[in-house]
Amino acid sequence: MSAELHLSHSDSLHPVPDAIFQPLAGQAMAAAQWCARQGWPVHPLAPGRKTPAANCRACREDGHAAVDCPCPPAGRWCHGFHAATLDQRRIHQWWGDNPRFGVGVSCGPAGLVVIDVDAHRTVLPGRDRLLPGITISDRVDLTGLTNGFHTIAVLAALRGMPSPADDEGTLRVRTPSGGLHVWYRTGDNRRWQCSSGSGKGRALAWQVDVRAHGGYIIAPGTTTAAGTYTPIGTVRRPAVLPDWLAQELERTGHLPALNVPAPRSVPPRAQQAVQAAGGGREKGEQTLAAVLAPVEACGQVPEGAGFSDALNRAAYTLGGLVASGRFARDDVERSLLAAAVAARPGQERRTEQIIRSGIAAGLKRPLYRGNRP
């Protein structure tokens, strides 16, 4: 990072005429119907507000969990995004009876990851919270850095990429407060998690929130007491989440804790290699290659190859060989990580978790010549 960092907020994102983004500029029902046609489940927001419409009296008084509530199955909107729907008849009923409702989109079921860039005027936090996990030296001049547009731009610049706020290839929505929602769709089945950029927990960047599983985003065209959420540019559909941004979200903990399954038996091919290996560098390399082969094979198939299972079993096998003194732990960890990254790039955080778990389990069961796991 340069020792000089002078930034200023220039408001260069101007709304386009209403005709360009119809039907988003119409009434709330039209916006809700349009979102549902995109495959984005919608739910009502309280009139003039950003929050979901209130639960029914029974739900407010009972305090039960959304999963146990009879309202959503019965066609009522209790529990916010948990009740989100694609059913056009239900949408017509909800907004037909309550035309002042706003429109929320449930991000998880919609397969959306929305980068919510804020422009609030507030006190700058400590340097360690501007870009979590990235050290900003005291020598760096932060003059002019005042909001999320700046922090996301700095993060992108560090990765040699343009800022998502400037991404004209995806849907972007200007918020009434001067912020920006940058909409992306997931390119895989990973369940990205929400975060608050100004919180002390999981975060991508200061004043940059993430809306994904377990959260909702306000639909384009929705009007609150503060103003209208207005699409900008000409693109009306989300692009696939960029690889570099997915890597940053993974780095900053936006995936759920990995539930690694219990290790299975060592694959027959690896068992044979363990039995046949009699020591020496060449035999060791043959054994390692045999154990890693199923992981490397996953690289030939983009998905559905059982990658997690193959990596877990390989780590378990090599953990047993480490325990028996056949390999050094650092060597097998490097080999496993290299094979995993080659097969599934961009999932380093997840693969490291699988490797650590598998090796730890394998260390409890040493593999010697002649024994069977």
Question: Using one digit for the tens of pLDDT, what is the confidence trace for 343-371?
Answer: 887 777 778 888 888 898 888 888 865 55
pLDDT range class, residue 1, cuts 50, 70, 90: very low
Give the C-alpha separation, 234 to 64, whole Å. Answer: 43
> pLDDT of 132-168, one tens digit each?
989 888 888 888 899 999 999 999 999 999 999 999 9
Residue pair 35/25 in contact by the 8 Å Cβ criterion:
no
Residue pair 28/100 in contact by the 8 Å Cβ criterion:
yes
Three-state SS for 241?
coil
HSE-up of residue 316 (Cα within 13 Å, Cβ side): 19
Give the C-alpha separation, 186 to 113, whole Å. Answer: 7
Give the C-alpha separation, 270 to 373, whole Å. Answer: 11
Q: Which residues have a Cβ under 8 Å from the Cβ of 180 and sit 6 or more positions away?
A: 13, 116, 117, 149, 165, 172, 173, 174
pLDDT (0 to 100) of residue 275: 47
Q: Model-level pTM? A: 0.66
Closest to 191 measured CA to CA, from 132, 86, 107: 107
Q: Which residues pair with 116 in a beta bridge?
A: 181, 209
